[in-house]
Chain A
Amino acid sequence: MGYTEEELAKDLENSEYKFGFTTNIESDRAPNGINEDIIRFISAKKEEPEWLLEYRLNAYKAWRQMTEPEWAHIHYEKPQFEDICYYAAPKQTKKYESWDDVDPEMKETMKKLGISMEEQKRLTGTAVDFVMDSVSVATSFKAKLKELGIIFCSFSEAVQEHPELVKKYMGSVVPSKDNFYAALNSAVFTDGSFCYIPKGVRCPMELSTYFRINEGGTGQFERTLVVADEGSYVSYLEGCTAPMRDENQLHAAVVELIALDNAEIKYSTVQNWYPGDKNGKGGVYNFVTKRGICEKNAKISWTQVETGSAVTWKYPSCILKGDNSVGEFYSVAVTNNFQQADTGTKMIHLGKNTKSTIISKGISAGQSHNSYRGLVQIHANADNARNFSQCDSLLMTDRSGAHTFPYIECKNNSAKIEHEATTSKIGEDQIFYCLQRGISEEKAISLIVNGYCKEVLNQLPMEFAVEAQKLLEISLENSVG
Chain B
Amino acid sequence: MEAVANSKVSAFVENWSLPAGNETLRAEALQALKGMDFPTTRVEDWKYTRITRITNKTFHQSAMTLDVKPYIIPNLEAHVLVFVNGYFQKNLSTILEGDVITIADVNDLDNSYYTNVLEDVDENVFSLMNKAFATAGVYLTIPKNQKAAYPIHLLHVSTGERTVANVRHFIQAETGSKAEVFATFHSEGANDALVNVVFEGHIQENAKLTINKLQSEEQSTFHIANEIFVQDPSSNFEINTITIGGLLVRNGLNILVEGENCYTELNGVYLGKGKQLLDNHTFVDHLFGNCTSSETYKGVMDDQSIGVFNGKVVVRQDAQKIQAYQSNGNVLLSEQATVNSKPELEIYADDVRCSHGSTTGQLDEQAVFYLRARGLSEKKAKELLVSAFIGEVLEKVDNATYRAYVDELFWQKFGWQF
Contacts and interface: CB of A to CB of B under 8 A. Distances in A.
Interface of A: 71, 73, 378, 380, 393, 395-425, 481
Contacts of A406: 341-344, 358
Interface in B339-364: 339-362
B344 A413 contact: no
A401 B333 contact: no
Contacts of B335: 380, 412-413
Contacts of A378: 360
Interface centre among B44, B330, B334, B359 (most CB of A within 10 A): B359
Contacts of A405: 342, 344
B332 A398 contact: no
A335 to B, nearest CB: 13
A416 B361 contact: yes
B360 A395 contact: no
B351 A398 contact: yes
A421 B343 CA distance: 9
27 contacts: A393-B347, A398-B351, A400-B350, A401-B346, A401-B347, A403-B345, A404-B345, A404-B346, A404-B356, A406-B342, A406-B358, A408-B340, A410-B338, A410-B341, A411-B336, A413-B334, A414-B362, A415-B361, A417-B359, A418-B357, A419-B341, A419-B357, A421-B357, A422-B353, A422-B355, A423-B354, A425-B352
Nearest to A392: B355
B360 A415 contact: yes
B318 interface: yes
Given A395-B350, A398-B320, A421-B345, A71 B362 contact: no
A413 B362 contact: yes
Given A410-B338, A410-B339, A395 B358 contact: no
B359 A418 contact: yes
Nearest to B319: A398
B9 interface: no
A478 B350 CA distance: 17
A423 B340 contact: no
A261 B274 CA distance: 39
A195 to B, nearest CB: 36
B344 A398 contact: no
B45 to A, nearest CB: 11
B337 interface: yes
Contacts of A404: 343-346, 356
A71 B45 CA distance: 11
Nearest to A390: B357
Contacts, number: 119
B317 interface: yes
Interface of B: 44, 48, 317-318, 320, 330, 332-362
Given A419-B358, A421-B357, 12 more contacts: A380-B336, A395-B349, A407-B342, A409-B48, A409-B341, A410-B341, A411-B338, A412-B335, A419-B356, A420-B357, A424-B353, A425-B350
A141 to B, nearest CB: 45
B352 A423 contact: yes
Contacts of A71: 44
Contacts of B343: 404, 406, 419, 421
B361 A417 contact: yes
Given A406-B342, A411-B338, A412-B332, A420 B347 contact: no
A421 B355 contact: yes
B347 A408 contact: no
A282 B130 CA distance: 47
Contacts of B333: 413
A411 B347 CA distance: 30
Contacts of B356: 404, 419-421
The 8 closest A-B pairs by CB, nearest first: A413-B332, A395-B350, A408-B341, A417-B360, A416-B361, A419-B358, A423-B354, A404-B345
Interface centre among B48, B318, B343, B345 (most CB of A within 10 A): B345
Contact of B330 (A395, A410, A420, A425): A410
Interface centre among A399, A410, A412 (most CB of B within 10 A): A410
Given A412-B332, A416-B361, A420-B357, A425 B338 contact: no
A413 B337 contact: yes
B243 to A, nearest CB: 19
B334 A417 contact: no
A196 B359 CA distance: 38
Nearest to B307: A410
A420 B317 CA distance: 23
A417 B309 CA distance: 14
A416 B360 contact: yes
A408 B308 CA distance: 10
Contacts of A393: 345, 347
Contacts of B317: 398-399
A409 B320 contact: no
B360 A398 contact: no
Contacts of A418: 357-359
B350 A481 contact: yes
Contacts of A421: 343, 345, 355-357
A144 to B, nearest CB: 47
A410 B332 CA distance: 9
A104 to B, nearest CB: 33
A425 to B, nearest CB: 4
B386 to A, nearest CB: 13
Nearest to A383: B335
A71 B47 CA distance: 12
A348 B357 CA distance: 20
A401 B351 CA distance: 11
Interface centre among A404, A423, A481 (most CB of B within 10 A): A423
A401 B354 CA distance: 13
A413 B300 CA distance: 11
Interface centre among B349, B350, B357 (most CB of A within 10 A): B350
A410 B346 contact: no
B179 to A, nearest CB: 34
B95 to A, nearest CB: 46
